[in-house]
Structure 1
Amino acid sequence: MRANPAVQGAVVTAHKLRLYRAAATDFTSLDVAAVLAEEVNAVATSTSAVEGYARDPLALTHVLTQVLPAEPYVVCLGAGGAGTALLLALHQSQITGLTGVGNASGAAPSGVRAVFADTDPQALDAMRAVADRAGIATGHLTFALVNHPADCDKLIAAAPDSAVVINATGLGKDAAGSPVTDQVPFAKDMLAWDLNYRGDLRFLDQAKTCGIRTVDGWAYFIAGWTSALAAIAGIPLTRTLLDDFARVAQR
């Protein structure tokens, strides 16, 4: 890439963690989010530099203010890359050096309480390590190991009635199914947010059956690609740019 003047960069949509582990020392520079999350999802190249970025936290901050209440309680099902980006986005105001995050409507809401759940204990350990590197206080965070969708149901039952429940597992897109059962006890004031935007989206169907509000991952998808391309182009991510990309993507 460095040797090819026709290539200005790359958007990385898979193996972001592996790319960081394999090539972190080959980058001329890495942004703060890349170092904290230990992943790269955008690469900008020139004849003299190869810059690595983790832009998913930035993308999520542009969506969070449209989704979360003022003092949110979040149940995030999935502690992989998307869940880690959410952790950083929720707490970006506390992280020194995480620049360029936020938008015209303000930063992510403060006073966030959150539960991050996963079936993989190593994923939860990795997320704790990210929180430690970022200096995020974990007293208001819970990291829950779950073995079955029924365990996720219990986390939702224990959450406040106004909680935002997020599917960050990939189930419903990358693989069939849902992280919750068909008996999931969604309260009527809860919001179900699936970070997937395509696939069978069974999680959202379960939420709709319970009569609660739902949001799919389309806005996050647009923000993710736009933020990565903005990094490659060397321009700021603005609400106007996001709106322009969204209009083009709808065509």
Structure 2
Amino acid sequence: MYARAGSRIALQTFTFIGVTTGQSAAMRLFPAWARELDLGEVRLVGYDLPLHAGAARYREAVGRIKSDRQGRGALVTTHKIDLFEACRDMFDAVDQYARLCGETSCLAKRGGQLLAFATDPISSGRALGEFYPEQSPGDVLCLGGGGSAVAITVNLIQRRAASHITVVNRTAGRLEAMRDIHARLGGDTDVRYVENSDPHTNDRLIGELPPGSLVINATGMGKDTRGSPITDGARFPEAGYAWELNYRGDLEFLDQALRQQEGRHLHVEDGWRYFIHGWAVVMEHVFEIDVDGAKIARLAAVSEAERPTHR
């Protein structure tokens, strides 16, 4: 919560919809972010829902935000697709990425209307741009087909930042939805969709990648659920990139990549900078501000003390 001691001013509320929001560093960091961005009297309120909660639960959450006179909006994590599908008729306007991706990561109230945005194509591009070179697009293997995977692949296709993309997911439904999104984008990036839940098959797919390729863990495994989408037998591409989208949890995929970092000349990234960029872009939309590079650097600096250490 961000408020002066003894203040009688009614606090604005900014809702954080997730699974275990109380464990997120954002709950502790938001007061410092609010000061850096001069957001005024505003508090962050966590709203936890189980994975794939029923439509009624999502509609109740959105209804509360819509009716809260002090509410500014919300950041949505984990539930981006399910919430959008359950509440589409409750939004007064939907941005182009939300329409394209069929998800929302940001709700913002303006002029009495509730607007839905999909901001991950923007924030994922900013995070990816910090470590993955665009000059010579390579192969990308994305393990997972949820909201983050959709956003990242949309960004890669729009920027022509990948020569070939393989997306792996446990179920066919999400893959078909992603295929439709990519088709509407157009472009000439070759994309393969693989329905699979066997980590040994994922090992094989990683082993087929050429040097310099990017491997992404977008499954949620290591945070939302235990384990990793690959086994310890997987061999990451030489001089490649491993991106674990999570920054907290067991992070078994991250451990597997780190063990090969030196021997395979592997660049390993966790989800910390993606986390910061994700919040920054949502706050841009909710509070109608601009978070430029200098402000991102300040947000990162005040956040560093909360960055989880990983063995």
* 3-state DSSP of counterpart to 2:151: helix
Does the alignment pair 1:7 with 2:98? no
Using the alignment, how far apart are the partners of 2:127 and 2:227 within structure 1?
25
Does the alignment pair 1:113 with 2:164? yes
What corresponds to 2:92 in structure 1?
Answer: 28
Does the alignment pair 1:123 with 2:135? no
Using the alignment, how far apart are the partners of 2:253 and 2:220 within structure 1?
10
Does the alignment pair 1:88 with 2:139? no
What corresponds to 2:140 in structure 1?
Answer: 74
Structure 2 unaligned spans of 5+ = 1-64, 306-311
- State whether residues 79 and 127 of structure 1, in contact with CA within 8 Å, keep that contact through their aligned partners in structure 2: yes
Does the alignment pair 1:242 with 2:296? yes
What corresponds to 1:142 in structure 2?
Answer: 192
1:22/1:147 CA distance change after superposition, 3 Å: closer
Using the alignment, how far apart are the partners of 1:6 and 1:88 within structure 2?
34
1:162/1:14 CA distance change after superposition, 3 Å: closer
Specify the code of the residue in structure 2 equivalent to 1:245: L
- State whether residues 188 and 210 of structure 1, in contact with CA within 8 Å, keep that contact through their aligned partners in structure 2: no
Structure 1 runs (4+) deviating above 6 angstroms are none
TM-score by length of structure 2 reads: 0.71
Which residues in structure 2 correspond to 1:208-219 (within 5 Å)?
Answer: 208-211=258-261, 212-219=266-273
How many residue pairs get aligned? The number is 235
Comparing 219-228 with 23-32, which one deviates more in the overlay?
A: 23-32
Using the alignment, how far apart are the partners of 1:230 and 1:185 within structure 2?
39
- State whether residues 20 and 40 of structure 1, in contact with CA within 8 Å, keep that contact through their aligned partners in structure 2: yes
1:137/1:24 CA distance change after superposition, 3 Å: farther
- Offset at 1:8? 1.1
- State whether residues 232 and 256 of structure 2, in contact with CA within 8 Å, keep that contact through their aligned partners in structure 1: yes
Of the three residues 101, 105, 119, the one matched with 1:41 is: 105
Does the alignment pair 1:225 with 2:279? yes
Specify the code of the residue in structure 2 equivalent to 1:57: P
Aligned-residue identity in percent: 34
Structure 1 unaligned spans of 5+ = 94-108
Which residues in structure 2 correspond to 1:197-216 (within 5 Å)?
Answer: 197-211=247-261, 212-216=266-270
TM-score by length of structure 1 reads: 0.87
1:183/1:2 CA distance change after superposition, 3 Å: closer
1:146/1:4 CA distance change after superposition, 3 Å: closer
Using the alignment, how far apart are the partners of 1:25 and 1:61 within structure 2?
29
Does the alignment pair 1:182 with 2:232? yes
1:135/1:187 CA distance change after superposition, 3 Å: closer
Of the three residues 152, 168, 175, the one matched with 2:202 is: 152
What corresponds to 1:191 in structure 2?
Answer: 241
Larger RCO: 1 or 2 (CA < 8 Å, sep 6+) = 1
Using the alignment, how far apart are the partners of 2:154 and 2:291 within structure 1?
17
Specify the code of the residue in structure 2 equivalent to 1:38: G
